[in-house]
Structure 1
Amino acid sequence: MEMTHLIIILGAVLLVSLLSGIWVAASLFLVGFVALMLNDNSNIGLVMATTTWGASATWTLAALPLFIWMGEILFRTKLSQDLFHGLAPWLNKVPGRLLHVNILGCTIFAAVSGSSAATAATIGKITIPELEKRGYPMKMMLGTLAGSGTLGFLIPPSIILIVYGVSAEVSISRLFIAGVLPGAMLVVLFMGYTMIWSMLNKDKFPEEDDEELTNMTFGQKLYATRRLFPVMGLILFVLGSIYAGFATATEAAALGVFGALILSLVTGNLSLQTFKESLLGATRTSCMITFIIAGAAFLSLAMGFTGIPRALAESISVMGLTPTQLIIVLTLFFMVLGFFLDGISMVVLTTSIVLPMVESSGINLLWFGIYVVLVVEMSQITPPVGFNLFVMQGLTKINILKIAAYALPFFFLLLTAIVLLTVFPGIATWLPQLMTQK
C-alpha cells in the first residue's frame, strides 16, 4: 500500500475513534492494530503484549503515581488557604494587588502537585471567593487563575515531563532541572502583564482591600508568612534532593509522599477517609495515564513497521527546513491538536512521529521537552477541551467561551515564552548543563 493512502487511512481511523468518544488509549491501540493489519503482520498479539508490558513495567515510570498521590494528599489539606493568607500581606501594595496571589499561589502549588488542573482548582477554591468579595474584576481573576494553573505542567515535579521523559528516553531529573528557569520566566511574564493591565485599568479595581491587610506592620507580615513554611519546606525537601544529587526523581517522589502525609497529619487533615480518597484519586489518574502510555508505545512500534515516521523525517530533510522553521510548523501543528486532545494524550500520541524529525534536525531533546510542555500548556486554556477552562467553569458556572476569552492574553504570553525559548535556548539547557558540570 502506498504511504499516502496508509497515512490517510490511519488518520481517518484515529479521528473517527477520538470523535466517537472512546478512551484515548483505546483509540491508540486501535490505530496501532489497524496499522499492523495493513502491514500484514501476523504476530499482533505477541507484539502488543511485549510492547505494552515493556512500556508500563519501567522503574522510571514509578515516579508518576507517587507524584500524583503527593498532589492528591495536599489537595485535601488547608494548603491553598495558607498560601493565600501567607502571600496576601506582601502583595497588597503591588500593582494588581491580590491578583498576584493567584499567580504565586499556583507557582508554589505547582511545585508540589505536577498537575495543571489540580493546581488551578486548589488555588481557585480559596482565591475566587476572597477576590470576588473584595470586588476584583472577574476577567483578570479567572484569567490569571487559568493561565497560572498551567504552571503545574512546567514547574517540577511535572507529570507531563515524566511522561515525555519516558517516551523520549530523556533523564527525568534533567528535565525537572530544565523546567525551573522557563517556569520562572512564565511567572515574570504573567505578573508583568497583570501589573501593566492593572495600571491601565485602575478604575476596575476596588479602592482598597480590607483594613486588616492595609494596616499590617512589617512584623505582622513576617508572622503571616509562617503559613508558607510547611509547603516551602516540602518543595525544598523534594526538589532539593533531586538537584543536590541525593535522590533520583522516583526516590524524591517517595520522599514527597512521605512529606505530604506528615504535613497532612500535622495540619489535622489526615483521616482514614481523606487517605482513601487521595489513594483512589491517584490510582484512577495513574491508571489512565499508564494506559495511554501503553497505547502510545504500541502505536509507536506499529508506526515503525509502517515506516511513516522515517518517511516524514526524510520529507522534512528534503524540504530543507531549518530547526527554527520546523519549530514554527510544529507549534502550529500542536496548537491545532490542542483543540481536540488533552496534554498527556498530545505528548504520547505525537512522540513516535515527531521525535525522528526533531532528532534529524539536530534539536536538543531536553530543550524540546520544555518546548512541548509550553505548547501543551497553551492547549489547557483553549476550547473545546482546555481542562483549566473546565475547572474555572466548575468553580464559577460562567460560560466556557467567556472564560476562554478571559484567558486569551495568557495564551499569547505562553506563545511569547515559546518565542523567547526558541531565540534563547539556554533558558532551558543552561541549568542542566551547569548541574552536570558540578
Structure 2
Amino acid sequence: MEPWLIGIISFLVMMFMVFGGIPVFISMLVAAFGGFVALYHGDMTMVLTQFTNAPFNLGANYNYAVLPMFMLLGALAGETGIGEGAFSSMKAFLGRIKGGLLYTVIGANAVFGACSGSSIAGNIVFGKLAIPELEKAGYSRKYSLGCIAASGALSTLIPPSMGIIMFCLIAPSPLVYKGENMNLSVGSALMCGFGPGILTMIALGITVYLIGKFEKGALPPGGGPKVSTNEKIKSLKLLIPIVCLFGLIMGGTFLGWFTATVAGAIGATAICIYAFAKRVPFKKICYCIWDAAVMEAAIFPIIIGGQIFGRFISDTKLANFLSQAIADINAPPYVVFLLVMLLYILCGCVMDIVSIIIITVPIVFPILVNLGFNPYVLIIALCFMTEIAGLTPPVGMNVFATANALRVNPSEVFKGVLPYFITEVCIVALIGLFPQIVTVIPALLKVPGF
C-alpha cells in the first residue's frame, strides 16, 4: 500500500474516533500507532521508538514552558483588575456615543489581549463586567452576548497570543518557502498580529454600527453622564499596567533581550509581583497557578499525541502528495485557502481550538506553504480561523465560556454571534487575498524574516 494512502486512512480513522466522542489525544495516538505499524510493515522496534522518543523530547524541550507561563499571566490578569481598568478607560472615551458600550467591549478586549493572550479569559472577564451595564443601558441582550464572545478573538491576534505561540511550536520547521529553507520565529509571528488585530477591531465596530442602523431597538440612542476631558485623561492611568506588561514582554522579545519562552516567564513573574502589590489574596494567586497547571496538564497530552501523529503524517509524505494533486488539477491557491477555512469551521463544530490546531497543522500548513502562501500569513490566518471556529455550534468553546461565566443558555449567545462571526470570516478571507495586512507592520519595523 502506498504511504500516502496509509496516511489518508489513518487520518479518516482518527477523525471517526474524534466524532465518536473518543478523547482527541487517544484518537491521534491510536491512529498513529496503527499507521506506523502499517507503514513500517509490522516492525515494532521502529514503532516503539517513535512512541518513546516523542514524549521524552517534548518533555525535555523547555520551549514548551512558554505555554503555562502565558496561561498563568492570563489568569492573573483577570484577578488583578487589569481587565476592569481597560474597560473603564475605554468606557470613558466611548461610553456616551450610540453603541458606545459595545465599542468599549471591543476596544477593551484588544487592550486586554496585550497581556492575557487568551480569548476565553477575555470572554469571562468582559462578560462579567459588561453585561450588567449593557442590560441596564438597554442594549439588545442577544447582540451584547454575541459581541462579548466574538471580540475575545482579538486576544489571538494582539500579541502575546497563546494561539500563535502554540502554532509556531506545532508547525513543521524548517520550511521550504520560495525555494529557501525558513525557520519560524515565535517573536516574528507575534509581531504579525498587529495589522489584522487593528483591522478586526475596526470591522467589529462597523458591525456594531450596522446592527444599530438596521436592527431597530438593538442599541440605545447613547448619551449618559458627560465625561470631562480631564477625567478621560486620568482614566488612561488605568492602562499603565497593561502598557508596562506589554512593553516588557514584546519590547524585550523584539529587541532581542530574551526569547519568547523567557518573555513568558518574565511576564508571569511581573504579574505575580503586581498581584502582590494589588493585595490579591494569596489563596487566589495559588488558585491561578493551579489553574494554569491544570490547563497545561489538559493540553500537553494533546500536544504529545499531535506531535506523534504529525511525525506519522510527515513520514507518509501525505502533505506532499496532496500538494502535487492540487497542482495537477490546477486548483487556484486561493480556492484551496477558502476550502481550508471551511474545514476549520466544520472542525469547530465538534472540536476545541487546541485540538483543531494540532490535528490540522501537519497536513494543512505544508500544503498552503507549497502553494506559495507566506508561512507567517498562514499562522495568523489559521490561528484566527480556529478562534472563529470556536463560535460555531454545537461545541463553540468561546460561546460556552461566555455562557458559563454569565450563567445563560449558550443558544442565546449563538443567536447573537452570527453577524460578528460573518465579519471575522470575511477578515480571514481578506488576509488570504491581501497578505500585506499581516506583513506591512513587521516590514516597517524591520522584524527578522521581513
TM-score range, shorter chain: over 0.9
Matched, 1:230 2:244: no
Q: Assess if the C-alpha contact under 8 Å between 2:322 and 2:367 holds in 1.
A: yes
1:128 to 111, 126, 131: 131
Matched, 1:219 2:230: yes
Taking the aligned partners of 1:207 and 1:325, their CA distance within structure 2 comes to: 42
What TM-score results when the alignment is normalised by the length of structure 2? 0.90
Q: Assess if the C-alpha contact under 8 Å between 2:146 and 2:416 holds in 1.
A: yes
Taking the aligned partners of 1:369 and 1:153, their CA distance within structure 2 comes to: 11
Matched, 1:188 2:188: no
Judging changes above 3 Å, is the alpha-carbon distance between structure 1 residues 163 and 52 closer, same or farther for their aligned structure 2 residues?
A: same
Matched, 1:346 2:356: yes
Q: Assess if the C-alpha contact under 8 Å between 2:188 and 2:447 holds in 1.
A: no
Which residue does 1:205 correspond to in 2?
A: 219
User: For residues 342-394 of structure 1, what are the alpha-carbon distances to aligned partners after superposition, in whole Å with 9 as ceiling and x for unaligned?
Assistant: 12211111122123312321221111101101211211111112111102221
Taking the aligned partners of 1:21 and 1:308, their CA distance within structure 2 comes to: 26
Q: Assess if the C-alpha contact under 8 Å between 2:189 and 2:379 holds in 1.
A: yes
Q: Which amino acid aligns with 1:363?
A: F
Which residue does 1:18 correspond to in 2?
A: 18
What TM-score results when the alignment is normalised by the length of structure 1? 0.92
Within-5 A mapping of 1:308-319: 308-319=318-329
Judging changes above 3 Å, is the alpha-carbon distance between structure 1 residues 202 and 239 closer, same or farther for their aligned structure 2 residues?
A: farther
Q: Assess if the C-alpha contact under 8 Å between 1:102 and 1:124 holds in 2.
A: no
Which residue does 1:36 correspond to in 2?
A: 36
Matched, 1:306 2:316: yes
Which residue does 1:118 correspond to in 2?
A: 121
Taking the aligned partners of 2:310 and 2:431, their CA distance within structure 1 comes to: 28
Q: Assess if the C-alpha contact under 8 Å between 1:134 and 1:209 holds in 2.
A: no
Deviation at 1:133, TM superposition (A): 2.2
Taking the aligned partners of 2:2 and 2:22, their CA distance within structure 1 comes to: 29
Deviation at 1:432, TM superposition (A): 2.6
Partner secondary structure for residue 44 of structure 2 = coil
Judging changes above 3 Å, is the alpha-carbon distance between structure 1 residues 313 and 54 closer, same or farther for their aligned structure 2 residues?
A: farther
Matched, 1:372 2:382: yes
Structure 2: state its 5+ residue gaps. 174-183
Deviation at 1:96, TM superposition (A): 0.9
Within-5 A mapping of 1:122-161: 122-161=125-164
Deviation at 1:87, TM superposition (A): 1.9
Taking the aligned partners of 2:440 and 2:60, their CA distance within structure 1 comes to: 32
Within-5 A mapping of 1:426-437: 426-436=436-446
Which residue does 1:75 correspond to in 2?
A: 78
User: For residues 95-124 of structure 1, what are the alpha-carbon distances to aligned partners after superposition, in whole Å with 9 as ceiling and x for unaligned?
Assistant: 311111211111111111111111111111
Taking the aligned partners of 1:216 and 1:434, their CA distance within structure 2 comes to: 36
Deviation at 1:225, TM superposition (A): 3.0
User: For residues 396-423 of structure 1, what are the alpha-carbon distances to aligned partners after superposition, in whole Å with 9 as ceiling and x for unaligned?
Assistant: 4443233112101111111111122122
Taking the aligned partners of 2:159 and 2:447, their CA distance within structure 1 comes to: 21
Taking the aligned partners of 2:323 and 2:119, their CA distance within structure 1 comes to: 32
1:99 to 98, 102, 110: 102
Matched, 1:409 2:409: no
Range with greater deviation from structure 2 (16-25 or 186-195): 16-25
Taking the aligned partners of 1:395 and 1:301, their CA distance within structure 2 comes to: 38
Taking the aligned partners of 1:66 and 1:93, their CA distance within structure 2 comes to: 38
Structure 1: state its 5+ residue gaps. none
Taking the aligned partners of 2:100 and 2:61, their CA distance within structure 1 comes to: 46
Which residue does 1:89 correspond to in 2?
A: 92
Q: How many residues align?
A: 434
Judging changes above 3 Å, is the alpha-carbon distance between structure 1 residues 255 and 7 closer, same or farther for their aligned structure 2 residues?
A: closer
Q: Which amino acid aligns with 2:352?
A: D
Deviation at 1:228, TM superposition (A): 2.3
Taking the aligned partners of 1:434 and 1:48, their CA distance within structure 2 comes to: 44
Identical-residue share of aligned pairs (%) = 26
